[in-house]
Chain A
Amino acid sequence: MGRSGDRARSRRRLTLAAVATMTVTVALAACGSAAGSGKASTTAKAGGTNLTMWLVTTGPSPANTVVNQAVSSFEKSHPGDTITVDYIENQSYKQKIQLAMGAGNPPTIFWTWGGGPLKQFINAGDVASLGNPAWASDFLPSSLGAVTFNGQLYGVPIEGTQPVFFFYNKTIFSKLGLTFPTTWSGLLSAVSTLKSHGYAPISLANGDQWPGLMYLEYLTDRIGGPGVFQAIELGKTGAWSNPAIIKALTDIQQLTRAGAFQNGYDSLHYSGGGSDALVYSGKAAIQLMGDWDVSQMLGLNKSFVTSGNLGLAPFPAVAGGTGDPADLAGNTASYVAISSKASTSQKTAAEAFMQDVLASSSYAKAIVSAGEVPVIKGATDLFAGQQLASYDQAIYTSVQQAPSFQYSWDQAVPPQEATPMLADLAQVFELTMTPQKFAATMDSQPSGA
């Protein structure tokens, strides 16, 4: 039929086309990142600057409103400058900002949790440095650690601090005549008392995996001090096999073996409110969670919180540990940073936004009313008369007095390590991986950003 010649020819054409396309695509990828120079956002209006800002959405709740109001007041006091805010959902945000940075198409101001991922952006030259501005001293020093690299500031807090505490159902505790333990062994005995009375001692939403990480963060700090994780962050060889980590993991498994966690803890997601429901419905007594849980609980079951049933307690000390029991772990704050692709006028306007708005006490007051704890100095006066004043004050005091505030490990480590760390830690909780195996696996991960 004479088709074989056609076929051979068309196959050759196909191969050529494929090779050409491959070259083009890789070239596109390569150009994309370099081409962004100066092409950041929309053109400026006459006499003013347009900025775009990407934030992680905090839902149809007060916190979004706070930022919107802050933006309006900025636009009023800086006529001609406008900020367009896009709110993006938490999980998808990381993906979107990654893509945008890689294509050279980032917003002027972008949300960041600081730590490892921000460092990657900085190393790629995507973030504008803020230098060492004087107004940065308005913030609590410990809150800026996650966005300071090589002595330079790269981000500014936009949301409050979120340290992790133990929250507990006071009614259950008083019914059993317990006070919240201040030592680890005390916690274990409380667990067995609670269990014998038919309660799930600890509510844990480890379907999300990061709630379990909080235990490891605190135990490691209590046992071996902040230096243990610092070694991991610096990528030192064998840092994960530090005896403090092994002991921390063993202690975690001790909790599991004692039946401390509720049935189905390994599949429960925090986002559905299930772990909170266990506590306020009186099925479970304790939950280790970030301080956002206070406003969460308030929204889910107002009377539980307003009647003073929600107890707050620091993580217990571990006997023989070298860490300071006043150390904290959690999100030091949430931040915004400026893209290096922004024009000079955009950068100036963005810094003005940070200095005039984000560092101001009126902004801090606004986020207090949204149920958060700001990280500026002297915020105590702002708590007066607020619904959650006692919680706010307790949290703020803890942050002020903490010798060290470790920001969440899944933000602090390079992204390649974060995923296996979380997945393997979940297995440790479920007793399907030994502490030693965990340390060995983590140590064998290729390090470096």
Chain B
Amino acid sequence: MSRTIVSRPARTAADPARGPAAPSRARLRVSPGRVITCVLATGWLVVVLAPVYYMVLASFRSQGTYLTANPWLPGGGLTLSEYGTVFGAGLGRYLVNSVIITAVCIVLTLSICLGAAFRIVRRSTWAAGASFRILLLGLAIPIQAIIVPLYLLIYKLHLYDTLFALMLTMSAAAVPVSVLIMVSFVRDIPRELIGAMLVDGGTEWTVFRRLIVPLSKPVLATLAIYDGLNVWNNFILPLVLTQSNSVAVLPLGLTKLEGQYAINVPAVMAAVLLSVLPLVVLFIVMRKQVMRSLGSVVMR
């Protein structure tokens, strides 16, 4: 199997879409285009970080003071009491359940969707095209629309109040988006490579296993993040399809911080920030994967 491998140009080359690269300008460290870009990008960074900072600060306040104290400065009494409330609400079990269903859903979704995306790009039979069109239809189906029939279905299948129900339904809901994004990626894998492999005596399966899967690491990483997040934060499916504490997940746990009329806002902020920590870890790990796979090799 022959490939032409070209390593990425050295980092000194300028970003092609922004800023010049002509050698005579190499001495000048900063160009006006670059400055504007950085200013705008930093501006967006502020827009992203400021509310999160606000959230962090609020999590260290109490219910009675988070509104009346200065929102931007730490003065006015910081306390860990609402973090205490979060731990006292027993969210440990919910965290474990969330981790379980997220991990299972990511693996399930990615494995069945990459195969489907590959077949769709290959266009071998009418089934591929039809499947793609059906999945596009599925993109537009809102979960709130099907929630009642779905509940009845799950109940009839004796899956009500199980983690299994969550894993199956959330994976199913992730299929259209995942396949769409994967198709957009896989189609750019050169046909010549596939053809070459087939000529060398390979089957569709070996093409998939030896060529498509390794090359799809970037899209798999991106979708692991996206699908994982959707499962992690999904509220309506666990709400409708489960009821016992033993199968409750983290978003449901947030509702434990609500009273009949009031929401313990600082505690919710604390809980949300705490629940982000595992995600941050996941994301850091995934990013390394993405960087590694993209940084070394590019296909021609």
Contact of B149 among A25, A54, A56, A274 (CB under 8 A): A25
Known: A86-B244, A299-B63. A60 touches B257 (CB 8 A): yes
Instruction: For the complex, give the distance between the alpha carbons of A243 and B245 in Å.
Output: 51
Contact with B along A301-343 (1 / 0, CB 8 A): 1000000000000000000000000000000000000000000
Residue B130 at the chain A interface, CB threshold 8 Å: yes
Residue B26 at the chain A interface, CB threshold 8 Å: no
Establish whether residues B260 and A300, one from each chain, have CB atoms under 8 Å apart when the complex forms.
no
For B156, the chain A residues whose CB sits under 8 A away are 28, 32
Contact of B152 among A7, A25, A59, A300 (CB under 8 A): A25
Contact of A277 among B68, B85, B240 (CB under 8 A): B68
Residue B204 at the chain A interface, CB threshold 8 Å: no
Contact with A along B61-80 (1 / 0, CB 8 A): 00110011000000000000
Residue A95 at the chain B interface, CB threshold 8 Å: yes
For A92, the chain B residues whose CB sits under 8 A away are 239, 255
Residues 14-62 of B contacting A (Cβ, < 8 Å) = none
Known: A57-B258, A92-B239. A103 touches B245 (CB 8 A): no
Known: A59-B258, A86-B244. A301 touches B64 (CB 8 A): yes
For A29, the chain B residues whose CB sits under 8 A away are 149, 152
User: A118 to nearest B CB, angstroms?
Assistant: 17
Residue A96 at the chain B interface, CB threshold 8 Å: yes
For B64, the chain A residues whose CB sits under 8 A away are 273, 277, 280, 299-301
Known: A59-B264, A277-B67, A299-B64. A86 touches B258 (CB 8 A): no
Which residue in chain A gives the minimum CB-CB distance to B265? A272
Establish whether residues B239 and A95, one from each chain, have CB atoms under 8 Å apart when the complex forms.
yes
Which residue in chain A gives the minimum CB-CB distance to B259? A59
For B148, the chain A residues whose CB sits under 8 A away are 99
Instruction: For the complex, give the distance between the alpha carbons of A25 and B152 in Å.
Output: 8
Residue A58 at the chain B interface, CB threshold 8 Å: yes
Residue A271 at the chain B interface, CB threshold 8 Å: yes
Task: Provide the main secondary structure of the chain A interface.
Answer: helix
Residue B164 at the chain A interface, CB threshold 8 Å: no
Residues 135-173 of B contacting A (Cβ, < 8 Å) = 148-149, 151-153, 155-156, 160
User: B267 to nearest A CB, angstroms?
Assistant: 8
Instruction: For the complex, give the distance between the alpha carbons of A270 and B259 in Å.
Output: 12
Which residue in chain B gives the minimum CB-CB distance to A297? B64
Which residue in chain B gives the minimum CB-CB distance to A302? B64
Establish whether residues B152 and A103, one from each chain, have CB atoms under 8 Å apart when the complex forms.
yes
For A56, the chain B residues whose CB sits under 8 A away are 260
Establish whether residues B126 and A59, one from each chain, have CB atoms under 8 Å apart when the complex forms.
no
Contact with B along A63-86 (1 / 0, CB 8 A): 000000000000000000000001
Q: Tell me which of B89, B130, B263 has the highest count of chain A C-beta atoms within 10 A of its own C-beta.
A: B263
Instruction: For the complex, give the distance between the alpha carbons of A105 and B152 in Å.
Output: 10
Contact of B258 among A7, A25, A90, A270 (CB under 8 A): A90
Residue B243 at the chain A interface, CB threshold 8 Å: yes
Instruction: For the complex, give the distance between the alpha carbons of A86 and B148 in Å.
Output: 21
Contact with A along B239-263 (1 / 0, CB 8 A): 1100111000000000111111111
Residue A360 at the chain B interface, CB threshold 8 Å: no
Residue A281 at the chain B interface, CB threshold 8 Å: yes
For B190, the chain A residues whose CB sits under 8 A away are none
Residue B88 at the chain A interface, CB threshold 8 Å: yes
Establish whether residues A95 and B257, one from each chain, have CB atoms under 8 Å apart when the complex forms.
no
Residue A3 at the chain B interface, CB threshold 8 Å: yes
User: A166 to nearest B CB, angstroms?
Assistant: 17
Establish whether residues B152 and A57, one from each chain, have CB atoms under 8 Å apart when the complex forms.
no
Instruction: For the complex, give the distance between the alpha carbons of A16 and B259 in Å.
Output: 49
Known: A6-B126, A57-B260, A95-B240. A300 touches B63 (CB 8 A): yes
User: A110 to nearest B CB, angstroms?
Assistant: 12
Instruction: For the complex, give the distance between the alpha carbons of A433 and B260 in Å.
Output: 30
Establish whether residues A273 and B126, one from each chain, have CB atoms under 8 Å apart when the complex forms.
no
Establish whether residues A96 and B258, one from each chain, have CB atoms under 8 Å apart when the complex forms.
no
Establish whether residues B260 and A270, one from each chain, have CB atoms under 8 Å apart when the complex forms.
no
Q: Tell me which of B64, B68, B130, B239 has the highest count of chain A C-beta atoms within 10 A of its own C-beta.
A: B64
Instruction: For the complex, give the distance between the alpha carbons of A270 and B274 in Å.
Output: 25
For B67, the chain A residues whose CB sits under 8 A away are 272-274, 277
Which residue in chain B gives the minimum CB-CB distance to A52? B243
List 13 additional contacts besides A29-B152, A105-B155, A105-B160; criterion CB under 8 Å: A28-B156, A58-B260, A61-B259, A88-B255, A89-B258, A90-B261, A95-B239, A99-B148, A103-B152, A273-B67, A277-B67, A280-B64, A296-B262
Closest 8 CB pairs of A and B: A59-B259, A300-B64, A89-B255, A271-B263, A277-B67, A301-B64, A281-B68, A58-B260
A-B contact pairs, 23 of them (CB 8 A): A10-B126, A28-B149, A32-B152, A57-B258, A58-B260, A59-B257, A60-B256, A60-B257, A86-B245, A88-B255, A90-B261, A96-B243, A103-B151, A103-B152, A103-B155, A105-B155, A270-B261, A271-B262, A272-B265, A274-B67, A299-B63, A299-B64, A300-B63
- What residues make up the interface of B, taking CB atoms closer than 8 Å to A? 63-64, 67-68, 85, 88-89, 126, 130, 148-149, 151-153, 155-156, 160, 239-240, 243-245, 255-265
